[in-house]
Amino acid sequence: MKAFVEDFGVTIRQLREGKGWSQEALAERADLNRSYVGEVERGRVIPSIVTAHKLAAALDINMVGLLLRCEQLEQSRLVRRINLAAIAC
């Protein structure tokens, strides 16, 4: 569960940075507190589904797309772990 929360935060940060926005700009667009956005990006809080929807809408992505990006990040981490394990053998 913790890994998914961290992947969600990384995904939010990547999307925000891709738009060239500060955390403050995203927070304003999503009607959230800037420090809370920072906590989400660091994976320190578990956002509600309403908050996730606000972030997705602010980033101009639907919830399915946002969650798909989180899953893709998780899969890429899994592949890297498998590759590292194969190298170690």
Domains and CATH numbers, the chain: 2-88 (1.10.260.40)
* Ramachandran sector of residue 80 (left: φ over 0; alpha: ψ -120 to 50; beta: rest): alpha
| Pairwise CA distance, residues 77 & 55, whole Å | 23
**Which one-letter DSSP state was computed for residue 89?**
-
Give SS3 for 32.
Answer: coil
| Pairwise CA distance, residues 89 & 30, whole Å | 47
Q: What is the pTM of this model?
A: 0.86
Hunting for tokens 């926005």 — which residue is that? Answer: 21
Query: Quick check: 55 pLDDT over 90?
Result: yes
At 77 the pLDDT is 82
